A = this chain, B = another copy of it.
Amino acid sequence: MENHGDEYKHYWETQYFLENQEYGSPDGAPSSAASRNIVSERNRRKQLNQRLFALRAVVPNISKMDKASIIKDAIDYIKQLQEQLAGIQAEVMEMENNNPETKVRQQLPLLLRSHNTNIFNPTSSPIQLLQLKVTPMGDNTLLVSITCSKRADTIVKLCQLFESFNLKIITANITALPGTLVLNTLFIEADEKEKDGLKMQIETAIAALSDPQSRMS
């Protein structure tokens, strides 16, 4: 549509900038009175066109080079920018309010937004590890037993942790007890020698999760 490159070469801005290069008063003409206005007018128009040209430059997707269309496109673009910015700012606000799990919240429309006290508590709740055992059961099987205190998202984090390890999990069981405890039991297919390595791995991962490093803006 609108064959760029050929079409526009006659257009005003192009031909305008070619011709419009100072023009002043070649002779010692009177230049007084009325005739001084016309050069003034020329400059006014020149400036106005420059500005319009500049406006066109900052607006992407300009279709018609029409003066009026340029302004219209600029208006639409400004509105679009304003909307985007408003939307994104809202998003940021929301994210800042409830740190990590905003994503989940936004993927589930109604249900979540209805009763939203603060399950996803903003103060990042690291996993508090109470006990960690890795026991070889023979038969290429390790029994991993984890006990930690129940905080918001503890279970989710545990799941993610182990899913990310890419282990050969035979069975996994997570139980949240009525009290404050979360028990996690996994049977993993792995050599007995990996016992200590795996334990280290888990400890390191949990420690990293609880790490209060990343900048608090």
Contacts and interface: CB of A to CB of B under 8 A. Distances in A.
A159 B101 CA distance: 10
A177 interface: yes
A72 B109 CA distance: 42
A71 interface: yes
Interface of A: 44, 47-48, 51-52, 54-55, 58-59, 67-68, 71-72, 74-75, 77-79, 81-82, 84-85, 88-89, 91-92, 95-96, 98-105, 107-112, 115-117, 119-120, 152-153, 155-157, 159-161, 163-166, 169-178, 201, 204-205, 208-209, 211, 214
Number of copies: 2
| Chain A contact residues, majority secondary structure | helix
A120 B78 contact: no
Contact of A166 (B71, B115, B156, B214): B115
A174 to B, nearest CB: 5
A204 B108 CA distance: 8
A98 B99 contact: yes
Contacts of A157: 100, 104
Contact of A160 (B98, B101, B109, B117): B101
A15 B214 CA distance: 47
A111 B201 contact: yes
Contacts of A71: 48, 51-52, 54-55, 71
